[in-house]
Chains A and B, each alone.
Chain A
Amino acid sequence: MAYMPKKIAHRKVFKGRIKGYATRGNRVVFGDYGLQALDAGRITGRQLEASRIAANRATQGAAKIWIRAFPDRPISSKPAETRMGKGKGDLDYWAAIVRPGTILFELGGVTEEKAKLAFKRIAHKMPIKVRMVKRLPTT
């Protein structure tokens, strides 16, 4: 597993519900361009790693990539053909909980065309709708 927390407080957590829009982590801060989530959902550690590799290949390693989402939520599942009951299933994978507006990736040091191509490649790996955004003027 590439992306998972080093230390965990609870092995298993409730499923929960993803409500509302992102009020934090919703601005391009580090790079020049960002990839913004338009839906709520779970992004798995594998999806984030696959996206990073795809972006790296699209930019030939020339871009600086920031991954702004981290999979810190343990997701459990029961094995196939198991009767219900007997407690909660075992840990299956780690996921980042994403709300609409969250910036998932940022790119710097590349042209807009290259960034667009890299984000297009990333978008194919994502389970939710995303869009490319730029840094917003503050004044």
Chain B
Amino acid sequence: MSASATLQAVLRDKVGSRDARKLRSEGRLPCSLQADKDHEHVNFHIDLSEFLTTRRAHAHLYDLEMGSQTQAAVVRELQYDSLGSGIIHVEFKPVTRGVATEAEVELSFVGNVVDGVLTHNVTHITVECLPSQIPDNIEVKVEGLTAGTHIKASDLVLPEGIKLAIEPDTEIAVVSVPRAETPEPTEGEEGEEGEDTL
């Protein structure tokens, strides 16, 4: 969680993949501001390195300066290239300061389970909070959990001012019982087993 970051946005007069590729080659990042009942959809571009700097500073609330106007926004979706090594597009969601909004927050599983394998059913949850209070992640403590334990959304310890926006019964993770290991074939005898394939 950190203070808001300001980004200089330039409106895109041309859209399309060819123009987007050209912008990326110039170090710009194509973006869009999602439409809602009060705002129109806007296509613009920002400086990629500036955006990455704000990401490193854990910024979640942005002030998009588009000419004479400034719009507060949060990131709704990031799009990556095929190898997942670079951001190619950002979709922002307009927000109003001081008014609670819904945001997707990553879950971070802390600790090691005693026996069994931790399987998470969800890796992100939707929370409702003020745009300035969006956390980086929500910690899920799994230290010492035993096989057969289920973690539900209602079990999460949320920071102050943050509410769940999903059903409290939603299963977050489960510590599954380890499967009985069958003796593996010796070297050169591969292909004999197939108990936990696809």
Contact = CB atoms under 8 A, between A and B. Distances in A.
B77 A139 contact: yes
Given A49-B191, A57-B184, A67-B198, A137 B78 contact: yes
Interface residues of A, number: 35
Interface string B107-131: 0000011000111100110000000
B117 A64 contact: yes
A62 B184 contact: no
Contacts of B191: 1-2, 46, 49
A19 B171 CA distance: 40
A67 B196 CA distance: 10
B75 interface: yes
B134 to A, nearest CB: 9
Task: Please classify the interface of chain A as helix (H, G, I), strand (E, B), loop, or mixed, using the class held by over half of its residues.
Answer: loop
Interface in B156-198: 176, 178, 181, 184, 190-191, 193-194, 196-198
Interface stretch (A9-17, A20-28, A81-89): A20-28
B22 interface: no
Contacts of B82: 21-23, 26, 100-101
Contact of B181 (A23, A50, A61, A133): A61
B117 A135 contact: no
* Residues of B in contact with A, size category: 20 to 34
A22 B190 CA distance: 29
A65 B181 CA distance: 14
A99 B196 CA distance: 25
B99 interface: no
B197 A108 contact: no
Contacts of A139: 74-78, 103-106, 124
A3 B194 CA distance: 9
B183 to A, nearest CB: 11
Nearest to A133: B84
A83 to B, nearest CB: 32
B117 A108 contact: yes
B83 A109 contact: no
Interface in A15-49: 21-23, 26-27, 36, 38, 46, 49
Interface string B50-84: 00000000000000000000000011111010111
Contacts of B181: 61
B119 to A, nearest CB: 6
B84 A27 contact: yes
A76 interface: no
B197 A56 contact: no
Contact of B84 (A56, A62, A101): A101
Interface of A: 1-3, 21-23, 26-27, 36, 38, 46, 49-50, 52-53, 56-57, 61-65, 67, 70, 100-101, 108-109, 111, 133, 135-139
13 contacts: A2-B191, A49-B197, A56-B184, A64-B119, A64-B176, A70-B198, A100-B83, A101-B83, A101-B84, A136-B78, A137-B78, A139-B75, A139-B106
Question: Lowest 7 A-B CB distances belong to which pairs?
Answer: A21-B82, A109-B117, A101-B82, A2-B191, A139-B104, A64-B117, A101-B83
